[in-house]
Structure 1
């Protein structure tokens, strides 16, 4: 697992170098300018994303250190329509192959490193139009990806389809590691002095059994 993460990190680094060298057209044409990603967590079970890298379908890499953080209100399980944080900084130009990111699970009091491998199914869903809810004669696109971060280091991923339920990306291969298996995320944390539960977290988890739901 660690060797896979290291290989991905090297690919991302190589991609970022080549991406700076020249601008290439998208190998998979998209009918939109950008796509967006947003993070969500269960209510009162917070997490923070500290570092994220993308490798796109053309082999170009992007690194994000300024990241819009998770927000969520679900209790007990994910919803058919999940609330999420903003996407002001969480955006990209090309379709993605791999996403790898570091996150602090405050409720678990540990750092996780998650890697998502995307498939043709994701690209098809993002580039295929559906009728706009407000103007059915117009096309809308699934340009926003939602990423759920839950206790036990569990990660889920969906595409948002406005006016409808979120679409699970079940073909996405997701791997998550922590502790000695961290590679890119070793030392990446917003809590170098340790984690403390806020009063709202303490109140929410009181009397509940970890992991506080089915995620």
Structure 2
């Protein structure tokens, strides 16, 4: 991982490009979010047979560090009709940072929509405070559970949701997170960023799943 020190505004973080995973120290004001863990993790989830591919992620954390991810754990999920109470995975070998997020911006190909989307997430202190809190683990009360597992749901029509994994209980929807998603001519960071050829027809499993269903194939 290459480390660069210098001034980096939110707009530059959103718009810059890189050919390697990069961590950048910025002069963004630091928050008071002392974490009791070394790293937190984010993963992506999609509904069953409605796939998406995440191609680029840029993240700004509360310590003022910027990250660029081009090697990304791809979405997995089995929700049908609506989001399950438990989505996504726990830890990830690739999608991780040292301090809670201020902003995450990412590009994703919606295979089912045949579109490229650009989504920006702005996090408020309630999420950051929750991520630095803990409680006894539901499986073993002698162990400690930390709310450091963020899940980002990607659904048809470019709909995005954000949760924290919740110690064996239903995921905690982060309803205060400001979510903005654009596509087409409104793409900025994600213009020309794709790994999909939307001229191909759907795979057989997708065809079988959406047969006789009305788009967008659920309520997300």
Q: 1: distance between equivalents of 2:151 and 2:112?
A: 20
The answer to whether residue 49 in structure 2 is matched with residue 47 in structure 1 is no
Q: 1: distance between equivalents of 2:120 and 2:26?
A: 24
Shift of 1:195: 4.4
Matched position secondary structure for 2:25: helix
Deviation track 1:31-83 (CA, whole Å, cap 9, x = no partner) reads 00000001000000000000000011122210000000001101000011124
Deviation track 1:90-129 (CA, whole Å, cap 9, x = no partner) reads 1111111000000000000000000000010001111111
Residue 19 (structure 1) aligns with:
25
Deviation track 1:123-171 (CA, whole Å, cap 9, x = no partner) reads 1111111111122133211111000000000000000023111000000
Matched position secondary structure for 2:77: coil
Residue 201 (structure 2) aligns with:
196
Q: Is contact 2:24-2:67 (8 Å) kept?
A: no
Residue 28 (structure 1) aligns with:
33
Cα 1:192–1:9, aligned 2, differ >3 Å: closer, same or farther?
farther
> What TM-score comes out, normalization by structure 2 length?
0.86
Matched position secondary structure for 2:161: strand
Runs (4+) of structure 1 exceeding 2 A deviation are 25-28, 83-86, 192-196
Matched position secondary structure for 2:162: strand
> What TM-score comes out, normalization by structure 1 length?
0.88
Q: Is contact 2:91-2:149 (8 Å) kept?
A: no
Higher-strand-fraction structure: 2
Residue 108 (structure 2) aligns with:
103
Aligned residue pair count: 204
Q: Is contact 2:41-2:91 (8 Å) kept?
A: no
Cα 1:167–1:17, aligned 2, differ >3 Å: closer, same or farther?
closer
Cα 1:172–1:95, aligned 2, differ >3 Å: closer, same or farther?
same
Shift of 1:196: 2.9
Matched position secondary structure for 2:182: strand
Q: 1: distance between equivalents of 2:23 and 2:167?
A: 36
Residue 152 (structure 1) aligns with:
157
Correspondence for 2:93 among 66, 78, 88: 88
The answer to whether residue 63 in structure 2 is matched with residue 61 in structure 1 is no
Cα 1:175–1:200, aligned 2, differ >3 Å: closer, same or farther?
same
RMSD of aligned alpha carbons: 2.2
Correspondence for 1:209 among 199, 210, 214: 214
